[in-house]
Chain A
Amino acid sequence: MSTAYALTHPASGAVQVPPHERIVLPNGATLIVVPRRDVPLVAFQAVLRGGPVCDPLVADESGCLAGVASLVAGLLEKGAGDRDAFAFADAVEGAGGNFSVTPGSEALSISGQYLARDQHLMIELLADALLRPRFDAGELEKLRARRIELIKATKDSDPADLIGIYGRAQLFGSQHPFGHPIGGSEASLAAVTHEHVLTYYADHFGADRLILVVAGDLDVPSLRRQVEDAFGGWRPAGVPLIRLMEPLRAQGRRVLLVDSPESAQTYFWLANVGVSKRYRQHAALDLVNTLYGGRFTSMLNTELRIKSGLSYSARAGFSRGTVAGEFAIRSFTDTANTRKALDLSLDTLARLKQDGVTNDMLDSARAYVLGQYPLGFETAADWAGALAELEFYGLDARYIDHYDAMLRAVSLQDARLVIDDAFPHPDDLTVVLVGDAKKIRRVARRYGPVTVMSITQPEFVPGPRARRSAPLPQQ
């Protein structure tokens, strides 16, 4: 059951997966151990397959009660085993550690870092949280109320942070789990009951869903014993893991205008469905996206920031899951320059699609990606995250070990292929604008039929009152 990887001597500069041990327990839990002794810390990354894509389906137009998985995740540290919420926090932070639960779209990720002397406590807390959470009803009430208020606070101080949530709801729609807000909305959170939480836990928590990577200054034999004791007897999840449908690419353009009165800038997000994590040409994709919107001198940032001074930042990128996530362009500009910045964004995408990239550009992107790559694999916590990700997507060590060689092999032809295949045509984009509707709604209509909603609405989709307007004729 166990595989030990030998340390190979990498070519200069190439990142290689470090020696580690992988154990699959009889109940399906996967354990990976990576010893590393540079600083007296241990880190873990636990991934529980499922996450928000398993939020319960409902019959209404939202399609889903979003936010259940996210609340379950938040409640894991609000009392578990012998400890109530306060005692749990005291134990974690008393050791100087942290216990951070992040709902991704297809998994719940739990990570933490502790002093090496507290290795045993770290595993005890994790096992309690996963196997013996209390799900106290009072804690649910508190957490839910707070989450709702935090969404409102984000609307006041960082509206751009929410734009992708509005955008994914438009792009993937209510019928695909990627269209549902991972953390829920003000309205959906308010509808979550204690029963939803308990059912979610029974259905979607279990050993067969668990990947646990522990890395750092470890006592390996005692860690292995403790993990086997702690997780070896865990039951499997109550239901099989759902398989996601491959989302469909959107045809044509439509615009959602989220009205934030008095907003000084327009924040925008232009997207379509992209490709999955297992995309075969991922090295070429990384190079082309670096050139288009992934670094400071990218085509997009050159146009919107460096040459025109329209924006502080313009980026583009792919979010890739077990199925395709979105390719999205994100930027913002002074309200008065909304049209100029949107046109420039579309023009650069059209230029990429039409002219492609040159060999010189590819060489520059290759050097950049190769040069920055090792910085993502520096610490034990970095490796815990990286190995958990490989395991989650069913990729092997070659995904990292051969990345260098794959980047070096990318040709102009490969780049052309991904430009045609993965990057959307500028006429096929879902557009979200967050800004002052009274100033930009006419501009918005240049880009497609517009739906307007207020940023204070408690959902991330327009309510039944929203109306759509026809696009302006092209001038």
Chain B
Amino acid sequence: MNAIASATPSSPTTAPGREIIRSLTLANGLKIIVWPVRNIPNVALYNWVRAGSRNEAPGITGLAHFFEHMMFNGTARRVAGDFDRLMEARGGANNAFTSDDVTVYQDWFPRDALELIFDLEADRIANLAFDPEVIESERGVVASERRLCVDDNNHGHLAEQVQAAAFLAHPYQFPTIGWPADIQSWTLADLQKFFRTYYAPNNQTFVVAGDVSPEEVFALARKYLEPIPRQAAPDPVRAREPEQAAERRVLVRRNGQTPLLQYAYKAPAAADARAPALNLLISILVDGDASRLYRELVENRKVIVDLGGHWHEGFDPALFWLYFTLPEGGDPDLVQPIIDAELARVARDGVTAEELRRAKSMAAVAFWKKLSTIDGKAQLLGEYEIFHGDWAKLFSAPEELERVTAADVNAVARDVLAVNRRTVGVLIPDPQAEGEPAEDNAELEEA
């Protein structure tokens, strides 16, 4: 018993680790941040590329996401498939994701594969190949991904329509996966231009967390990444969305059983000073069974069967989303005033001290959970570096959260939950597609 007895557990408000993190900016502008962690013999590497659907234009929507696929498809030195084959044969796995703002490449591997990973990552940044056959095949993969997430997904389909309607001028209107016709029509020249511009070393940031020393990582970065030439900085995204003056509405009729409602409010950019308050607001509204909207709409009024929300924290002002699933037969026209009355009450009367305390505690647990893995550490460091300008801000996040007052949350609620600055999406299940298809049975009897 004594061997595992402990002192009273503590709950620090500042995260440990800051003093052991090192960063280095190479001569070509690529920055590397290293957090040495020795709890498991593994490493998480994130490469944050500042390229997302925000950097696209009509006709080439989905291109940033397409690179998330093409970056695995061969280089001048290695044929398509080698990247994954070599990495997996040394114990590594990888993934990637694309958002409106960034494309992020993730590798998780045993520490003795560190040099191979730097070789592979540098190779695809320096020497990516554009084999026409591979491009055609990958279009098919992306089209399948789109059918999964949008075409065969009522929630995804409605969200795409709402997002497109919410912006008139800003490229945040583009679906990250791309419009179907664009997926089929990118040219080789489109790909080459996008790659040269956005996959320049000066447009990328590496974050490494795990069983490594900063010195060995920096040495590998100098060897593999530093020779890649810097490029001219990409043109800034100049588009500014004009102020929205009135509510917009999108109506969709689709095969299905359950009606959906989505609200997308214009919201501030990630770096806005109100960010901690806005995150607490969303938690107060929709996180967990004790949240305001869940309790009122799902438990008390029983007009909603599922709900959720998120704030798109981007480089530019984006959207604060709330989404609701109605029961079969539910009437969105009747339910919407009930939801709106609740939201108006939040904007008018504010949140309670108890609600704020709950949201802060939930955020604290979520923060520590993230910090308990090398993956979470790499992700958080990257998020603070990219969207807040400095990885070190991560370490003041718990204190900043603690400092938020109910008045701060109420102020941001009044600003953001404005009816005239939202887009409402309604999905009505199409009754024609209901029921068992009669012709089916007829055909089967013939067989």
A interface with B by C-beta (< 8 Å): 2, 4, 12-13, 19-21, 33, 35, 37-42, 77, 85-86, 89-90, 92-98, 113-117, 119, 142, 145-146, 149-150, 152-153, 155-160, 217-221, 259-265, 295-297, 302, 305-312, 332-334, 363-364, 367-368, 370-372, 374-375, 377-381, 437-438, 441, 445, 450, 452-454, 456-457, 465, 467-470
A-B pairs, 7 with minimum CB distance: A371-B91, A96-B361, A309-B140, A116-B9, A469-B447, A309-B137, A156-B256
- The 0/1 profile, CB within 8 Å of A marked 1, for residues 334-364 of chain B is 0000000000000000000010011011111
Residues of chain B within 8 A of A85, CB atoms compared? 289, 299
Are A452 and B444 in touch, CB under 8 angstroms? yes
A-B contact pairs, 6 of them (CB 8 A): A295-B93, A297-B88, A310-B144, A311-B141, A378-B40, A379-B372
- The 0/1 profile, CB within 8 Å of A marked 1, for residues 255-279 of chain B is 1111000000000000000000000
With A142-B302, A297-B84 as known contacts, state yes or no: A93 contacts B290, CB within 8 Å: yes
Interface presence of B154 (CB below 8 A): yes
Q: Shortest CB–CB separation between residue B152 and chain A, in angstroms? A: 5
A263 CA / B150 CA spacing, docked (Å):
11
Are B298 and A39 in touch, CB under 8 angstroms? no
Q: Which of B213-269 contact A (CB under 8 A)?
A: 254-258
Interface presence of B119 (CB below 8 A): no
Are A157 and B9 in touch, CB under 8 angstroms? no
Interface centre among A260, A371, A380 (most CB of B within 10 A): A371
Q: With A153-B306, A306-B80 given, can you name 20 additional A-B contacts, CB distance below 8 Å?
A: A21-B4, A38-B372, A39-B368, A40-B9, A92-B289, A96-B361, A96-B364, A113-B365, A113-B369, A150-B325, A220-B4, A221-B1, A221-B5, A261-B437, A264-B147, A265-B151, A297-B84, A364-B89, A453-B436, A456-B257
Binds A, one of B53-61, B105-113, B189-197, B379-387: B105-113
Residues of chain B within 8 A of A262, CB atoms compared? 255, 433
Query: Between A and B, how many residue pairs show CB distances below 8 Å?
Result: 280
A261 CA / B255 CA spacing, docked (Å):
7
Residues of chain B within 8 A of A98, CB atoms compared? 288, 365
Q: Which of B270-323 contact A (CB under 8 A)?
A: 287-291, 295, 298-299, 302, 305-306
Are A370 and B110 in touch, CB under 8 angstroms? yes
By DSSP majority rule, is chain A's interface helix, strand, loop, or mixed? mixed
Interface size on B, residues (CB 8 A): 97
Interface presence of B440 (CB below 8 A): yes
Are B447 and A94 in touch, CB under 8 angstroms? no
Q: Which of B107-139 contact A (CB under 8 A)?
A: 108-110, 113, 136-139
Residues of chain B within 8 A of A19, CB atoms compared? 3-4
Residues of chain A within 8 A of B92, CB atoms compared? 368, 371
Are B108 and A441 in touch, CB under 8 angstroms? no
Q: Shortest CB–CB separation between residue A268 and chain B, in angstroms? A: 13
Residues of chain B within 8 A of A452, CB atoms compared? 440-441, 444
Residues of chain A within 8 A of B375, CB atoms compared? 375
Residues of chain A within 8 A of B306, CB atoms compared? 146, 149-150, 153
Interface presence of B374 (CB below 8 A): yes
* Option from A374, A445, A468 in Cβ contact (under 8 Å) with B41: A374
Interface presence of B76 (CB below 8 A): no
Are B369 and A150 in touch, CB under 8 angstroms? no
Closest B residue by C-beta to A453: B436
Are B440 and A437 in touch, CB under 8 angstroms? yes
Residues of chain B within 8 A of A145, CB atoms compared? 302, 327
Residues of chain A within 8 A of B434, CB atoms compared? 456
Are B358 and A312 in touch, CB under 8 angstroms? no
